[in-house]
Structure 1
């Protein structure tokens, strides 16, 4: 047997980086402390009590009274896939509101399900008008309308007022991926009238990736539960014959997960206890701060970041009116090696900023200020470091303008 690398036996000691990209971001210290708490058995009354607390804590975070508000164990994408695979059957028509990389992700998942996919699209850097969604829904007769709220690939936030009413009038269900905005921009599931909304911890909620909050309307729950009865009257309690619920996944079968989170406590999987602790603490931190105060802080951070970038003479990407508050895209100046700047930010200042996808790859950087990192001093440090790294690349910019501009913008009414 070959000798093992001594590094394998060393304690993990990652560098203390400031994560100012589109996510993940640095977790709040309270969340990390919560994750170190002792494990419990999944049916321990204390554990199921924590599960009930999580459901109660996330209802206001989602802006809902939905009974079915809980967690899916996995990264944010696990809840996206669970939602789509549980709402959509092969051959169903689904209308995807596509304005970036994560709209394309919805399409890719739906292709695997075997859905008939229709799209209503906007160029990257814009969002889709509600009138265009209405026209596409009337034209396609879609069973489900799926959209991203904030797409970090383009830094745009899709307006969602009226989406639920529009879908219900057409007899359609609505799904929203709010991974990048939950805890930083308002999520109003009930007011929007949408059926399923999912999120993640690793962005504005200030936690680690690995647990995905989800809320499901009673209307959508009926549809999800009804799929357990489509073959020989089989229900959740009668799956020993191996036929089981007729969806494309066991792990992502929301009906089974909902039974686990219900008073029935029907075993589906072993709950990821430490991640549940993390999700619980993320919500406690957010609600303790006050949601409106939190949204204002994210708006201040985004406004300051944008002002500082413009004061350097850089061009901000996309429409101001629909930009996410927590992620800002900025064009890489001509003649500047974008990856060299990112590397210098990391190696010289221990700060990470993001690159881009698809048609924006190599054209923009994405700078985030969210969750525990949506703080004035962290925005100012990031801007100051970027100014130095641009100068290292030979880019001429007005020295010392970015930080004062950001400070002034942060305090603007």
Structure 2
């Protein structure tokens, strides 16, 4: 007889997923109700309000797409883009490339504005290309975990508006752990996932749409025979290619008419509601400051071990840092993976590798959600020191923990200074 599932205890300190907050897991165990039960529809409405606080927006169209963060990304792009549309994609890592791929699959003409990995894209370059192309959409990742860099967004909203384009932002890696201002930055569409700074499991994608974006998507709504007959059924715009990821239909599902589209993932709704509730209780700004403080301690600790951080410090996310694998280990094709495996086996701690040109070159260490706390940072540094020494690397005894403790002795105000208006 197959036994009950019993995962090993882990401390997830990679680029995501993270350990879900126990309160989120408890919320997921709540009883199911029918999708049109008044409790269910009231909970959906309440959840929309909670997520407006997290997104820092007044957008009416703020809801969930059932699926992982990539479902939210794809829903946004296939709903905004028609075949033949132009889209400008500032790209500085693996996930910018993903936005380009999804846009191409939607039939759009993609114009990449690329930056070297470890840097971000100069907004002036974006403005130049947008002015030349006059795209329907500018699509950008806020924080790309493949490089751990965060793209400044403040200028991009105005660039898009100046050329009558919509700005879409993938905030999967940053929301809840970094300052994010949907309305103040002029962001038209943003999507995320629960499994990083938001402290939940993968499987629900929070989404917010400006009225400009919602109007664009509504113009592509179509009539389903026998189910709906919309006043604007004849509006210009080709039908959205996906049924499940059609944001026009999902807006109707979450809106006051509650038009049936799919059966809501009730347990994930509970999880998303609890994630947003916890962020509201902590305070959106306080949560970003917490991630900044523990992230800074992790950076200090890794450097205290003699490791070199990767990328431009000015643009690093609060919640993920990449460090170069020591030369001695990098010379062995499996040396970096062996250290990660030993850290997992001996200490139950997971850190990440990376993609493309950085695969085998860096480790990525995350500090997010419930992992953005002092004991998790110190345990990770102590375990990493041990496995590095066993692998033959020369590291200062206690160097990581001592450096992190020194960072924690720095007044919190010094760490959080400059967060206002930060990326």
Residue number among 234, 252, 260 corresponding to 1:259 in the alignment? 252
Compute the displacement of 1:292 (Å). 1.3
Residue number among 357, 360, 380 corresponding to 2:358 in the alignment? 360
What CA distance in whole angstroms lies between the structure 2 residues aligned with 1:74 and 1:335?
A: 41
Residue number among 42, 51, 69 corresponding to 1:49 in the alignment? 42
SS of match in other structure, 2:33 = coil
Residue number among 21, 25, 33 corresponding to 2:26 in the alignment? 33
Are the aligned partners of 2:221 and 2:249 in contact in 1 as well (CA < 8 Å)? Answer: no
Per-residue deviation, residues 323-368 of structure 1 (Å, max 9, x unmatched): 0000000000012110110000000000000011000000000000
Compute the displacement of 1:14 (Å). 0.1
What CA distance in whole angstroms lies between the structure 2 residues aligned with 1:44 and 1:212?
A: 22
**Taking structure 1 as reference, are residues 286 and 235 closer, same or farther at Cα in structure 2, changes over 3 Å only?**
farther
Are the aligned partners of 2:252 and 2:258 in contact in 1 as well (CA < 8 Å)? Answer: yes
TM-score (norm 1): 0.95
SS of match in other structure, 1:95 = strand
Stretches (4+) displaced over 3 A: 233-236
SS of match in other structure, 1:402 = helix
Compute the displacement of 1:376 (Å). 0.7
User: Could you tell which deviates more after superposition, 293-302 or 31-40?
Assistant: 293-302
Compute the displacement of 1:236 (Å). 7.4
Is residue 376 from structure 1 mapped to residue 374 from structure 2 by the alignment? yes
Aligned residue in 1 for 2:207? 214
Are the aligned partners of 1:228 and 1:235 in contact in 2 as well (CA < 8 Å)? Answer: no
SS of match in other structure, 1:162 = helix
Aligned residue in 2 for 1:3? none
Are the aligned partners of 1:236 and 1:245 in contact in 2 as well (CA < 8 Å)? Answer: no
SS of match in other structure, 2:193 = coil
Compute the displacement of 1:410 (Å). 2.7
Is residue 204 from structure 1 mapped to residue 202 from structure 2 by the alignment? no
Structure-to-structure mapping, 1:11-410, within 5 angstroms: 11-228=4-221, 237-238=228-229, 246-336=239-329, 337-410=335-408
SS of match in other structure, 1:252 = coil
**Equivalent residues, number:** 401
What CA distance in whole angstroms lies between the structure 2 residues aligned with 1:235 and 1:165?
A: 42
Aligned residue in 1 for 2:419? none
Per-residue deviation, residues 66-95 of structure 1 (Å, max 9, x unmatched): 000000000000010000000000010000
Are the aligned partners of 2:89 and 2:112 in contact in 1 as well (CA < 8 Å)? Answer: yes
Compute the displacement of 1:235 (Å). 11
Are the aligned partners of 1:351 and 1:382 in contact in 2 as well (CA < 8 Å)? Answer: yes
SS of match in other structure, 1:57 = helix
Compute the displacement of 1:238 (Å). 3.9
Compute the displacement of 1:186 (Å). 1.4
SS of match in other structure, 1:212 = strand
What CA distance in whole angstroms lies between the structure 2 residues aligned with 1:35 and 1:228?
A: 33
- Unaligned 5+ segments in structure 1 are 1-5
What CA distance in whole angstroms lies between the structure 1 residues aligned with 2:174 and 2:384?
A: 25
Per-residue deviation, residues 350-406 of structure 1 (Å, max 9, x unmatched): 000001100000000000000111001100000000000000111111111110111
Compute the displacement of 1:104 (Å). 0.7
SS of match in other structure, 2:221 = helix
**Taking structure 1 as reference, are residues 330 and 11 closer, same or farther at Cα in structure 2, changes over 3 Å only?**
same
What CA distance in whole angstroms lies between the structure 2 residues aligned with 1:256 and 1:144?
A: 21
Per-residue deviation, residues 30-64 of structure 1 (Å, max 9, x unmatched): 00000000001001110000000110000010010
What CA distance in whole angstroms lies between the structure 1 residues aligned with 2:24 and 2:167?
A: 31
